């Protein structure tokens, strides 16, 4: 017979209007739960310029040898725009190229990386589009590794780029790269000192990194991540003439109106029924406004006929919409061990 236990959580609905937004398309998402905190024209396809390099970076991190010396070939000769100014046949470690890619937006670094990882930029673009499909970036099409759009064009949406940002953020090395303010490199040819072109990293204390981009056709594009009190968010804006102030204002709006709540804690889940003890393997936290305090419910459902392993689920809802389903497991009873004196007298 199935028994139902009901709990009511008194906690803290998204703000749908933000008058100061200067971008054509924008979105803000909680990185951990995936909750959309704000959006405007988030599914409108647009040119994305150098925020393309987020995909270039994560593919290289997942498929390359970071300590390998890479030789810059003739592919760099056709590059223009932002550059780290590699010389023909100059060798640089892949990890250093990635810092040049993300901090200085090096288009030359992008094509060198693409050739190293896939053998050619065309093959690398295939990898980019395959990864985009895997991530559910259904409105995205990559045609190059750098974001320049005079000859080939990369299209995406604010929502799709936020999906990419959230995925990339899970990679520890990626997080370290985008959080770096300056970086030094020395090759056999020369020494480099790079400062991060993404200005918000210095100008806003809660910013933890990101990537900016610009072409005349795309306008200014920007992807950032922010952290305040363990509340991680990513923000994407496309065609935004005031991108840095806009990201700061959106972040402030979110942190002023949302609080991250630990709704279920796996280390503090004391559920006992019929002398049986249960546990969960995952905690769950979620950003909520104060208007949502009476709208979050947690429902635990347990099947007493199951005697081991998963025995039920915890369902967390907001306004009767399912947020998360977390499995419940039956805790094994610890066998009582006989001590020395018990064994002796028995």
Which of the residues 25, 26, 40, 53 is marked catalytic? 53
Task: Count other C-beta atoms under 10 Å from residue 76's C-beta.
Answer: 23
Residue 165 annotated among the catalytic residues of the structure:
no
Q: Global pTM?
A: 0.88
Instruction: Place 274 in a pLDDT band, splitting at 50, 70 and 90.
Output: confident
6-to-3, 299, 310, 313 alpha-carbon distances in Å: 10, 5, 19, 12
Q: What angle do CA 232, 155, 208 make, to 5 degrees?
A: 20
247-267 pLDDT, tens digit per residue, is 999 999 999 999 999 999 999
Which of the residues 25, 26, 50, 143 is marked catalytic? 50
Question: SS3 of 257, please?
Answer: helix
Among 2-11, 16-25, 150-159, which stretch is predicted with the lowest mean pLDDT?
A: 2-11
Is the pLDDT at 336 greater than 60? The verdict is: no
pLDDT at 341: 47
CA-CA distance, 90 to 309, in Å (whole number)? 57
Q: What angle do CA 263, 267, 269 make, to 5 degrees?
A: 60
Residue at token pair 């999906």: 163
161-to-87, 229, 248, 263 alpha-carbon distances in Å: 32, 24, 18, 28
Which of the residues 25, 26, 105, 145 is marked catalytic? 105
Q: Which tokens is 232 given? A: 């991680």
Q: Which tokens is 335 given? A: 């066998």
Residue 310 annotated among the catalytic residues of the structure:
no
Identify the structural domains of the chain with CATH numbers, from first to last: 2-12+261-330 (2.30.140), 25-241 (3.40.710.10)
Is the pLDDT at 88 greater than 50? The verdict is: yes
13-60 pLDDT, tens digit per residue, is 445 556 689 999 999 999 999 999 999 999 999 999 999 999 999 999
Rg (CA), the chain: 25
What is the pLDDT averaged over residues 184-211? 97
End-to-end CA distance of the chain: 40
Give 141's DSSP letter. B
Range list of β-strands (E), the chain: 2-8, 25-30, 36-40, 46-47, 69-71, 91-93, 155-156, 182-186, 191-195, 207-215, 219-228, 231-238, 259-264, 271-273, 276-279, 284-288, 296-303, 310-318, 321-330
Is the pLDDT at 335 greater than 60? The verdict is: no
The answer to whether residues 175 and 167 touch, using CB atoms and an 8 Å cutoff, is no
Burial bucket for residue 144 (CB in 10 Å: 0-12, 13-18, 19+):
buried
pLDDT at 10: 33
């Amino acid at each position: 017979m199935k028994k139902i236990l009901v709990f009511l959580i008194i906690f803290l609905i998204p703000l749908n209007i933000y008058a100061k937004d200067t971008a054509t398309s924008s979105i803000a998402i909680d990185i951990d739960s995936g909750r959309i905190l704000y959006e405007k024209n988030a599914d409108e396809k647009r040119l994305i310029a150098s925020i393309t390099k987020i995909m270039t970076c994560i593919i290289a991190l997942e498929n390359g040898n970071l300590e390998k010396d890479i030789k810059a070939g003739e592919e760099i000769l056709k590059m223009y725009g932002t550059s780290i100014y590699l010389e023909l046949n100059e060798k640089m470690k892949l990890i250093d190229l990635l810092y040049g890619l993300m901090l200085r937006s090096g288009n030359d670094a992008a094509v060198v990386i693409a050739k190293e990882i896939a053998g050619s930029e065309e093959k690398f673009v295939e990898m980019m589009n395959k990864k985009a499909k895997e991530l559910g970036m259904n409105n995205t099409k990559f045609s190059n590794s750098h974001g320049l759009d005079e000859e080939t064009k990369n299209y995406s949406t604010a929502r799709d780029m936020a999906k990419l940002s959230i995925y990339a953020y899970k990679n520890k090395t990626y997080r370290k790269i985008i959080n770096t303010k300056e970086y030094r490199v020395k090759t056999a040819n020369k020494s480099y000192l790079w400062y991060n072109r993404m200005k918000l990293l210095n100008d806003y204390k809660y910013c933890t990194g990101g990537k900016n981009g610009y072409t005349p056709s795309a306008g200014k594009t920007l992807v950032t991540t922010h952290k305040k009190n363990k509340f991680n968010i990513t923000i994407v804006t496309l065609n935004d003439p005031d991108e840095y102030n806009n990201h700061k204002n959106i972040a402030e709006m979110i942190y002023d109106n949302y609080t991250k709540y630990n709704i279920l804690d796996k280390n503090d889940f004391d559920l006992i029924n019929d002398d049986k003890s249960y546990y969960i393997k995952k905690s769950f936290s979620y950003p909520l406004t104060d208007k949502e305090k009476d709208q979050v419910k947690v429902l635990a459902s347990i099947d007493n006929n199951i005697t081991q392993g998963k025995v039920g689920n915890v369902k967390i809802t907001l306004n009767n919409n399912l947020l998360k389903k977390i499995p419940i497991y039956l805790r094994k009873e610890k066998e009582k061990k006989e001590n020395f004196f018990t064994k002796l007298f028995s």
